[in-house]
Every structure is written in C-alpha cells, then in structure tokens.
A and B are shown apart, each in its own frame.
Chain A
C-alpha cells in the first residue's frame, strides 16, 4: 500500500513541480482525516522518501527512487550557463508588472503618431493606477476609449494627443481614467 502512496505523491510532484500540502495529500490518497496524513508523512520521513522543512512543509528526498537521487545532488552544482540565466527575465515579465490588472487594446487612428504609436498596434494597459503627468493613459470620452497623454498643468487636468491635428481635450465633468499604458507591441 505504501508503495502506491509513494507513486501518487511522486506523480503529483512530477506534474506540479512541488510537493502536495497535507490537505492535498488527503484528497490525493483518499484519507478523510489530516491525522492519517500526518502519520503517513512521519512514516515516509523515516524511510527518507521526503522530509519536513523547519516550517513543516514537505520537501522531496528519494521520491524518484535511489538512482534519481544522484540527479538531485547534481542540481547542487549548476552549470555556469544556468547560473547566468538566473538573472534574466521573460518578455512577459519585462512588459507586464501586474498581470491581473493588465488588458489589451487595439489602436485605431493616428492621434498618438508622434509618440510612435501607430494604427493597429497592440497596447498593454494597467487598470487601477493613479496616472501621473505625461503618462499615456486610456480614458473614457463620450462612451469610447481614447489614448492620450495625461496632463496636469497648474492644477488643471486635460488630455493631449501626440499629433498636431488633434486638439487638447478638457473634460467637462469628471474624467474617467481607466488604465495607464505600460507597453505598445507591434509584430512584423
């Protein structure tokens, strides 16, 4: 029976790249009480299958059997390439600060052409941010989204285009700034 439990735990680890929590382990192995899970964990710890860290969380030990353990030891000596890559980030991380608050829009027209933003470009904008002077924002004007520079000048707020053909927009009532532009992407 214990072999079957081990198999399930290691397949969980393979899939999720982490150890299950006590509760997840209960569901995984069909135990209804956490106490039963504790007992099993202690047993597995005595067999060096896993171990508890200082905060009680589980870390894998021999979960892939004896041979694979060598692999785990090897991981302690990363190749230099791996080490260098630790300080890099993905394009996603570079472009997006707060993923949950970031939305896509598509540019229509050329009101921001002098800022290098063209018709058809993809815009990444972040909601829930207080805009600062000269940031590019997505504002709601007459029931439509508009993208302009946010300007705060002598206490007056207005929107400014990056194209001489467009006049500044002074809001009549409250101006709803929905989001602050974080990036513009153009794929060729």
Chain B
C-alpha cells in the first residue's frame, strides 16, 4: 500500500453528518429536553431518530413506541416535524457552500463537500477548513455534527462515523491503514450484509484486508461497484462530489403510513391518490415527467402488493395516473386485508416537454392537464399546498393520517403567527415561545 504515503490529501473530501439529526432539531428548540432520552416518530409508531441518551438506553431506529416505553418509561416521544428538519437541512448545505460550491446534498442529514484547492482562498489547511465548517454549523444551527476529512468519499465517510457524536476526524492517506485495520468490512459505505458475509468467507474481515487484497483476486468474486469501493479505500477518488441542489432524480417516490389500518377501498385508494398527487407536485417542481408508475400497498402484516403502470406519454399530472390506477387497483387490493400504508414511485424520469404526440388523442388530454396544473400550482403557491386536490384523494385529505394521541401533529403545524395559515408558514425554523 505504498501509494498511501505519496500525498496526504490528493483530494480533500468532507463528509458531514448531523448527529441524531431529527432528535437534535427538536432539542435545539426545547432546551428543557437537553440530556433526556428523546425519540421522534410518534406519528408512525416507530422511532425515526433518537438522542444519544435514548441510544444508550437501547432504543434503536425502527423500534416500536410500545417497546421503547417498556425499556425506558421516561423517554420523550415526539411527532416528526419534517418541515423543520428540512429547513435545518437546507441551512446545513448553505453553510457548507460558504466554503465550496461543490456540495452534494446526499440526504436530509448528510452531505459531501469537495474542498480540494480551497486552502489559499481560506488561508487555512484542509483540517482547519473542516473545523471552521463544523464550528459554523454548530454555532448557527445549535446542533452537533460529525465530520470526516479524507481523500475519497468512502474514506471521509469512515472518518465521520469514527467518533460520533460531535466528531472531527482527519484521515490523511498516510494514516489510512491504521483506520482501515479497525474498520470491519460491513461498516464500509456501500457494503451491505450480503457482501460483508461473502467477504468474511474469503477471510476478508477488515477494510484493511479488503484494501490490500489483489485486484485480480477480488475481481473474481466482486462486481464493478465493489472494485470501485476497493479503489476508494486505497485513496483513489472514484466517486466525485455531485454538486448542485438535488434535482436530478432517477425516481420520485411518496409513501405514507396511516392509522387506524383500513380495509375500506375508498380510504385506501384515497391515500394512494394523495401520494400520486404529491409525487406529481414534486415532479413538476423539477420539470420531470414519468411514464412508468409503480404503485404499492402495505398490509398490517407488513406485506407488500405492488404493480406497475406504463403510460403512453410521460406525464407529471395526477389525473391520468389516478384513472389508470383505479382500473387496476383491485389487482392489489383485497377487502379481507387491512392496510397501513400506500405508496407510489414515478420512474423512468425525463425532462418535461420533449414528448412525442400519441396516436390516440391522449396528447391533447395531457396538454389540457398540463394547463390545468399550471393554474393549480399557481393557486398552491398563493394559498398553500393542496388548496385544490382531486376528489379521489378526499378521504385522505380530510382525515388526519393518524388518529388519537399519535395524531397530534408537530407544533409548527398550528397557526402561530398572524398572517400564517394552516397551509403556509414563514420559512424559518421556530424555536418556540420566549418569556
């Protein structure tokens, strides 16, 4: 592995990861929750994020509220407030962009940044830049982040995981072997349980074992993506940081869980219809259209029933999709089964407007829909999302997605300031009341 010693940072890649992101956003608004076990996800009945205090008590992601209460009765369980988390997320990207335009919005609580070649403009070493970014994020957002700096994305990700929470870990290539020796292959970004089990069978246990294996050897049993990970571990930047706001989607999906579970066709279809409308809103925002629509239902036994619809012309308006979905809905819906979630995936996305005329006059219909939805979007921009919706979505639009205590929504959803409405609020995170 002598290549490790050539240059400390041939490229300088940061991975920045919000610690217990959702729970931290909640605690940042409510100082009285500091130091307590806090869990979010009450509305779904399972933990979506938990504070380190809750983790210490054994709470894990996906654990049910019932189980959580059994192992720690004093836990604070809050409904998720995705609007607030998204606002924090956007701010995280913006703060990192002060240092480099090359920021990849990897997920709601993580991003990659390429800071190669920025030392001179910031008058600072890569380590110092990483530290400054971390401090700005923490001071301005009031939550902690773990940051890893190295020469590749895979190595930077090992760095950010190294000492969570509140970590700042540098892995210059000369130190990489020491880190890799202490990293199990299963902990490497992109290596799942299946591959990790296979690697173990081949006597490859640590990231170091993998990085030092001969290329010809690993190629005999691993596919191309894994040889890329192998190169990244050896310090060669294969994956570039994909800058820009995340708007190049391969697919758009919308899923929603509702309670109580239901076997009422109208209610379940309305949920699906609402998801279709939401997915189309997102597609229109990004000027994308789809001609492959994938629909699914999830039963209370967590079984999925799914099917795919092919459309003759790519679209991003819901009316046509809902009509098609209605025709085939009975193939996946069974009255004797209770359902807890529905979902839709728009795939095969392409830029809108470049489509061919269909032979069957559908094109005219689609164009009319496009015009209608231009107006719908304008109305939504003025009066809020879902000011106008399809009749088929009615049941889902009027019913809260969750009844009972689980139905209590996030605090910010209530009208707080004069001039705000149920549908539209000022786009700044809310810290609560001040006396």
A138 B434 Cβ-Cβ under 8 A: yes
Residues of A within 8 A of B32 (CB): 143-144
Asked if A74 is at the interface (CB within 8 A of a chain B CB), the reply is no
Asked if B391 is at the interface (CB within 8 A of a chain A CB), the reply is no
Q: How far apart are the CA atoms of A124 and B417 in the complex, in Å? A: 13
Which of A15, A99, A111, A143 is in CB contact (< 8 Å) with B287?
Answer: A15
B428 A104 Cβ-Cβ under 8 A: yes
Asked if A59 is at the interface (CB within 8 A of a chain B CB), the reply is no
A-B contact pairs, 21 of them (CB 8 A): A8-B351, A11-B353, A23-B243, A24-B243, A24-B244, A101-B140, A101-B141, A103-B429, A104-B426, A105-B431, A106-B433, A109-B435, A122-B426, A123-B434, A125-B431, A128-B136, A140-B31, A145-B431, A145-B433, A146-B434, A176-B31
Asked if B139 is at the interface (CB within 8 A of a chain A CB), the reply is yes
Tell me the smallest distance from the CB of A140 to a CB of chain B, in Å: 4
Asked if B432 is at the interface (CB within 8 A of a chain A CB), the reply is yes
B248 nearest CB neighbor, chain A only: A27
Q: How far apart are the CA atoms of A101 and B139 in the complex, in Å? A: 8
B435 A145 Cβ-Cβ under 8 A: yes
A107 nearest CB neighbor, chain B only: B434
Asked if A90 is at the interface (CB within 8 A of a chain B CB), the reply is no
Asked if A61 is at the interface (CB within 8 A of a chain B CB), the reply is no
Asked if B362 is at the interface (CB within 8 A of a chain A CB), the reply is no
Residues of B within 8 A of A176 (CB): 31
Which residues in B have some Cβ–Cβ distance to A below 8 Å?
31-32, 34, 91, 94-95, 136, 139-142, 240, 242-244, 248, 287, 351, 353-354, 416-419, 426, 428-435
Q: A106-B417, A127-B139 are in contact. Are A138 and B248 (CB under 8 A)?
A: no
Q: A144-B31, A145-B31, A187-B417 are in contact. Are A103 and B428 (CB under 8 A)?
A: yes
Asked if A108 is at the interface (CB within 8 A of a chain B CB), the reply is yes
Q: A104-B426, A107-B434 are in contact. Are A143 and B94 (CB under 8 A)?
A: no
A127 B432 Cβ-Cβ under 8 A: no
B416 A127 Cβ-Cβ under 8 A: no
Residues of B within 8 A of A109 (CB): 435
B243 A21 Cβ-Cβ under 8 A: yes
Asked if A102 is at the interface (CB within 8 A of a chain B CB), the reply is yes
Asked if A178 is at the interface (CB within 8 A of a chain B CB), the reply is yes
Which of B34, B94, B243, B433 is in CB contact (< 8 Å) with A105?
Answer: B433
Asked if A50 is at the interface (CB within 8 A of a chain B CB), the reply is no
Residues of A within 8 A of B31 (CB): 140, 143-145, 176, 178
Q: How far apart are the CA atoms of A145 and B31 in the complex, in Å? A: 8
Residues of B within 8 A of A128 (CB): 136, 139-140
Residues of B within 8 A of A100 (CB): 91, 94-95, 140-141
Which residues in A have some Cβ–Cβ distance to B below 8 Å?
7-8, 11, 15, 21, 23-24, 27, 98-109, 111, 120, 122-125, 127-128, 138, 140, 143-147, 176, 178-179, 187-188
Tell me the smallest distance from the CB of A96 to a CB of chain B, in Å: 9
Q: How far apart are the CA atoms of A11 and B91 in the complex, in Å? A: 28
B435 A108 Cβ-Cβ under 8 A: yes
Residues of B within 8 A of A187 (CB): 417-419
Q: How far apart are the CA atoms of A140 and B34 in the complex, in Å? A: 11
Tell me the smallest distance from the CB of A121 to a CB of chain B, in Å: 9
Tell me the smallest distance from the CB of B420 to a CB of chain A, in Å: 9
- Which 5 residue pairs spanning A and B have beta carbons closest together? A128-B139, A143-B32, A101-B140, A145-B434, A100-B91
Q: How far apart are the CA atoms of A98 and B416 in the complex, in Å? A: 23
Q: How far apart are the CA atoms of A100 and B91 in the complex, in Å? A: 5
Residues of A within 8 A of B426 (CB): 104, 122
B434 A106 Cβ-Cβ under 8 A: yes
Q: A15-B287, A187-B418 are in contact. Are A127 and B142 (CB under 8 A)?
A: yes
Residues of B within 8 A of A146 (CB): 434-435
Q: How far apart are the CA atoms of A21 and B353 in the complex, in Å? A: 23
A138 nearest CB neighbor, chain B only: B434
Tell me the smallest distance from the CB of A171 to a CB of chain B, in Å: 14
Tell me the smallest distance from the CB of B74 to a CB of chain A, in Å: 15
B412 nearest CB neighbor, chain A only: A104
13 extra interchain contacts, Cβ-Cβ under 8 A, other than A105-B432, A146-B435?
A11-B351, A15-B287, A23-B242, A23-B243, A24-B243, A102-B428, A103-B431, A104-B417, A106-B417, A108-B434, A145-B432, A187-B417, A188-B418
Q: How far apart are the CA atoms of A88 and B423 in the complex, in Å? A: 31
A124 B140 Cβ-Cβ under 8 A: no
Tell me the smallest distance from the CB of A175 to a CB of chain B, in Å: 12
Residues of A within 8 A of B136 (CB): 128
Residues of A within 8 A of B141 (CB): 100-101, 127
A186 nearest CB neighbor, chain B only: B418
A147 B434 Cβ-Cβ under 8 A: yes
Q: How far apart are the CA atoms of A4 and B419 in the complex, in Å? A: 46
B434 A99 Cβ-Cβ under 8 A: no
Residues of A within 8 A of B139 (CB): 101, 127-128
Residues of A within 8 A of B140 (CB): 98, 100-101, 127-128
A111 B429 Cβ-Cβ under 8 A: no
Q: How far apart are the CA atoms of A140 and B351 in the complex, in Å? A: 49
Tell me the smallest distance from the CB of B135 to a CB of chain A, in Å: 9
Q: How far apart are the CA atoms of A147 and B432 in the complex, in Å? A: 12
Residues of A within 8 A of B142 (CB): 127, 178
Tell me the smallest distance from the CB of A187 to a CB of chain B, in Å: 5
Q: How far apart are the CA atoms of A178 and B136 in the complex, in Å? A: 14
Q: A104-B426, A127-B140, A144-B31 are in contact. Are A122 and B417 (CB under 8 A)?
A: yes
